Amino acid sequence: METKLIPYLASSLMVIGMTLLFTMIHPFLGLVNMSLLTIIPILISAARWGTFPAMATALMGTIAFDLFYVPPIFKFMVADLRYLISFAIFMLVGFITGTLSDRLKKQVSYSRQRENSISALYSLSRDISAADNLDAVLDCIVRNISNTLEGQVLLFLPDEKAQLVLCKASDGTISLDKDDLSAAKWVYEHGEKAGHGMETLGTAKALYLPLSTEQGTQGVLGINIKESDAQSDSERIRLSEAFTGLAAMAINRVKLAEQARESLSLVESEHLRTALFNSLSHDLRTPLASIIGAVTGLLEDKNVVYSPEVRKELLNTILHGAERMNRFISNLLDMARLESGMLRLNKEWCDLQDIIGVAVNRLGNTLTRRPLEITIQEDLPLVQADGILIEQVLINLLDNALKYSAAASKITILISQHARQIEVVVANCGQGIPEADLSKVFDKFYRLSSSLQVSGTGLGLAICKGFIEAHGGNIWAENNKLGGVTITFTLPLTDQFLGIVPEMNEGENDGKQRSADIDN
């Protein structure tokens, strides 16, 4: 109440001050100039406080001007009726300027509200666009709407049984009565707003709006404004409807993205299943057939005595088939570990020369009649790695080099240190890879078209990539000058072993470069 009286008190003081000023200087101004100056308080009051204070100022100015300066003095009478025109102008100026001021203030206030609304909508759209999961999107929606409307925000979504449940709330201590729950369910079922301030279920404490999209109602947004008035309720409802539109699209976007990921996962699973069945039909049945044939030959007729050479050949066939099956099963298990995220590195200090020796021994029968050149830089430091996994990487690379190279062609292994990493190179002299396919050779189930009879699942190089990257290294493929393919991988060195010569196997090094030509 006191605040409402301030404009009128201020206007009165301006009129009194103007009257006292005119009393001192009116002989020099004249009535015409004083009548013009009397408009100044009216304009100030109109610009500052609006129509009614301006009209009151005009009325007080008219009374003061008539009482003190228009003959007869100190009487509410006008000897010259022309002064009535001045009085009417005073009142008209107060009314027009006050009305224009009120309209301008309303436009400024509306523009500010629009600016705040647009800023709030932009902030919400920016936050929800950055969120990549449903829970983060819901947090953004509740936080932004609550801060903007300065009220309590409730977010309801359907569960797996299509029952509406409260998922998020701006206040952690929410207690909903029957009216609010009924309003939220009604809004979800009918797709129309209801609750506080509405004709439908108006006894509810909050206003409930549907989160509607083309795919249907995604949920319900409840907004409980603690302090509101009729003038701002309509604007808040419009802003709330804009918020619900953005929220509905964001929730729908996340759900569609999840469905797309599930569909992609199903497609990949189907692709994996098909590839595995194809591999099982060939890469398991072929060695199994060889093993069964060899065993059957040994057991079929007990009276037949095989020569030592024939028995050895049959046993080698069994061994080769078993080793092939073992590599196949190992690749499947390794890929399963990589895909499931269950791969755990057991890092130890390893000498790559020992790892290469084990890998070559495991492929001993496969490397028959194939020259293998191994070149290892002298004074090569130890590397901290999972020796079993690096051994499997080398076995897969050597097996790949054997498959895609001509018979009796040479395979080369080169190990050297470059700055802070160890570089391992495996090269063959066989068939090159088209430049467009070099980046694909490490994809799961990728098989290079070849005139050679090549078996396998296409998992070997993908497993190598997963194991090397798990160690923090890199692996890549490139064509070499001999027409074959060179695959290189790197392993990072630990600081404490940079430049330190391993003390083990000193008798074998003799301070020279270690190289060997192995012809099995």
Strand partners, 422: 417, 491
Per-residue model confidence (pLDDT) at position 474: 92
Per-residue model confidence (pLDDT) at position 18: 81
What does residue 504 show for φ and ψ, rounded to 5 degrees?
-80, 155
Which residue's entry shows tokens 């102008």? 89
CB 505 within 8 A of CB 353: yes
Could you read off the pLDDT of 160-171 as tens digits, one per residue?
A: 787 888 888 877
505 SS3 class: coil
d(CA 413, CA 479): 15
Considering the entire predicted model, what is its pTM? 0.46
Could you read off the pLDDT of 23-81 as tens digits, one per residue?
A: 777 777 777 777 777 788 888 888 888 888 888 888 888 888 777 777 777 776 666 66
The mean of the pLDDT values for the chain is: 77
Q: What is the CA radius of gyration of the chain?
A: 45
Neighbours of 256 (CB within 10 A): 12
Confidence of residue 452 (pLDDT cuts 50, 70, 90): low
Per-residue model confidence (pLDDT) at position 262: 80
Listed in sequence order, the DSSP H helices in 341-489 are 352-362, 387-403, 460-470
Per-residue model confidence (pLDDT) at position 81: 65
Per-residue model confidence (pLDDT) at position 514: 34
Beta-carbon contacts of 166 under 8 Å, excluding residues fewer than 6 positions away, are: 154, 155, 156, 174, 176
Hey, what are 314's tokens?
């049959």
Hey, what are 278's tokens?
């194809």
pLDDT of 270 > 80? The answer is no
- Counting Cβ atoms within 10 Å, is residue 420 exposed (0-12), middle (13-18) or buried (19+)? exposed
Averaged over 111-126, what is the pLDDT? 76
Closest CA to 456 of 364, 274, 272, 324: 324
Confidence of residue 392 (pLDDT cuts 50, 70, 90): confident
Averaged over 367-385, what is the pLDDT? 85
- Cα 27-29-34 angle, rounded to 5 deg: 115
Per-residue model confidence (pLDDT) at position 422: 92
Which residue's entry shows tokens 């309720």? 233
Per-residue model confidence (pLDDT) at position 85: 78
Beta-carbon contacts of 505 under 8 Å, excluding residues fewer than 6 positions away, are: 351, 353
pLDDT of 124 > 80? The answer is no
Beta-carbon contacts of 414 under 8 Å, excluding residues fewer than 6 positions away, are: 375, 376, 424, 425, 427
C-alpha of 507 from chain center: 56
CB 154 within 8 A of CB 221: yes
Confidence of residue 414 (pLDDT cuts 50, 70, 90): very high
Per-residue model confidence (pLDDT) at position 416: 92
d(CA 189, CA 367): 71
Alpha-carbon distances of 511 from 40, 276, 375, 379, 418, rounded to whole Å:
105, 49, 14, 8, 19
Which residue's entry shows tokens 């595995």? 276
Hey, what are 260's tokens?
């797309």
Handedness of CA 166, 170, 172, 175 (dihedral sign): negative
What DSSP line would sit under 269-323, residue for residue? HHHHHHHHHHHIIIIIHHHHHHHHHHHHHHHS-TT----HHHHHHHHHHHHHHHH
Type and span of the H or E element at 439: none
